[in-house]
């Protein structure tokens, strides 16, 4: 734990995406345009100590990690209490 006095901190994450296509035609898609983080810190600590703190905060940020790292997606679908398989556009499950 860093021994650093922080009087206040606030973080805001803005996600910009585009959702398009047609539900009826089965062409729904989404495209991520950007992710922005805004961090405000109130502290009288030295700049080098604050830089160290902020680097640690960014390294531990779930939002930044999810966007900057390739993450496997495991999708499990259940319908009426039973596993449900979807076919892809080529007819494969």
pLDDT in tens, 70-89: 888 888 999 999 999 987 75
Can you give the pTM of this predicted structure?
Answer: 0.67
Is residue 34 packed enough to be buried (19+ CB in 10 Å), middle (13-18) or exposed (0-12)? Answer: exposed
CB half-sphere exposure, 8, CA atoms < 13 A: 3
Triad 39, 4, 67: Cα angle to 5°:
30
Mean pLDDT of 30-51: 94
Three-class secondary structure of residue 55 per DSSP: helix
């Amino acid at each position: 734990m860093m021994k650093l006095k922080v009087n206040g901190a606030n973080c805001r994450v803005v996600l910009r995406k585009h959702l398009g296509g047609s539900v009826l035609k089965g062409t729904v898609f989404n495209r991520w345009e950007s992710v922005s983080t805004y961090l405000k810190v109130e502290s009288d600590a030295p700049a080098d100590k604050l830089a160290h703190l902020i680097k640690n905060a960014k390294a531990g940020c779930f939002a930044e990690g999810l966007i900057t790292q390739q993450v496997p997606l495991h999708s499990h679908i259940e319908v009426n209490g039973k596993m449900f398989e979807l076919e892809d556009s080529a007819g494969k499950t």
